[in-house]
């Protein structure tokens, strides 16, 4: 039986980061899904922020240690588990990678605004911000296929769920956020082909995200009508 347990939500991009890291390291794990709209009591007792992901790590005394925050979980996985290293060995390069991981989190915040707003002006503002942020990434990407070249890293694990949103958005309308950025487009394609990325969500993910947009009566849906 898997020793690690990842407590998850079906749409959470932060959960995907941890799942991708575990898969890249070849670590068996169990995934437990919860409904964030009706959080169970046992979850609230062990989650300081009431958020996913959580990683349950078994202890020698039979208990468990609970880790929270996706970047913390991903780095723990990389440091404690066998398999290829997902963070650079050099301290300066590693710090730079951490910065770009936070940058990816900022894009996720913008995506939240984009996908939940009913207002056309707010939608366009968020679309422009996201486009500009991808432009900054275009400037730092090398020859690929991944952020750090040939090696898959935790930065890739952060951005794969970012790009996944646009698979569903593109089926509704072309937002044009990476149209002018060939390196970003190639990076997106390389990440989408990665087995760890494909398996980080259930097959129903696109339908679930579409239903989420419908619950919010999201402005983006009007663009596809």
CA distance 225 to 218: 12
Annotated catalytic residue, options 5, 6, 12, 114: 12
Determine contact, residues 52/73, Cβ cutoff 8 Å. no
Secondary-structure percent of the chain, ordered helix, strand, coil, rounded to 5:
55, 10, 35
Supply the angle between the helices 154-172 and 205-215 in degrees, to the nearest 10: 60
| H helix intervals, 47-150 | 70-80, 91-116, 120-140
Residue 96 bears catalytic tag: no
Looking at the annotation, which residues are catalytic? 12
């Amino acid at each position: 039986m898997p020793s690690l347990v990842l407590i998850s939500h079906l749409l959470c991009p932060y959960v995907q980061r941890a799942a991708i890291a575990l898969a890249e390291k070849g670590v068996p794990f169990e995934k437990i899904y919860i409904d964030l709209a009706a959080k169970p009591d046992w979850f609230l007792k062990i989650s300081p922020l009431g958020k996913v992901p959580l990683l349950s790590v078994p202890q020698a005394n039979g208990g468990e240690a609970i880790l929270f925050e996706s970047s913390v979980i991903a780095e723990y996985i990389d440091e404690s588990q066998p398999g290829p290293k997902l963070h650079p060995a050099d301290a300066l390069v590693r710090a730079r990678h951490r910065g770009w991981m936070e940058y990816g989190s900022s894009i996720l915040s913008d995506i939240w605004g984009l996908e939940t707003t009913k207002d056309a002006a707010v939608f366009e503002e968020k679309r422009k911000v996201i486009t500009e942020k991808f432009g900054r990434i275009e400037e730092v990407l090398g020859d690929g296929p991944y952020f750090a070249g040939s090696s898959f890293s935790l930065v890739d694990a952060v951005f794969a769920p970012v790009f996944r949103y646009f698979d569903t958005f593109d089926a509704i309308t072309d937002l044009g956020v990476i149209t002018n950025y060939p390196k970003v487009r190639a990076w997106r394609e390389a990440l989408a082909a990665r087995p760890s990325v494909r398996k980080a969500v259930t097959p129903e993910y696109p339908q679930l995200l579409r239903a989420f947009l419908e619950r919010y009566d999201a402005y983006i849906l009007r663009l596809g009508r």
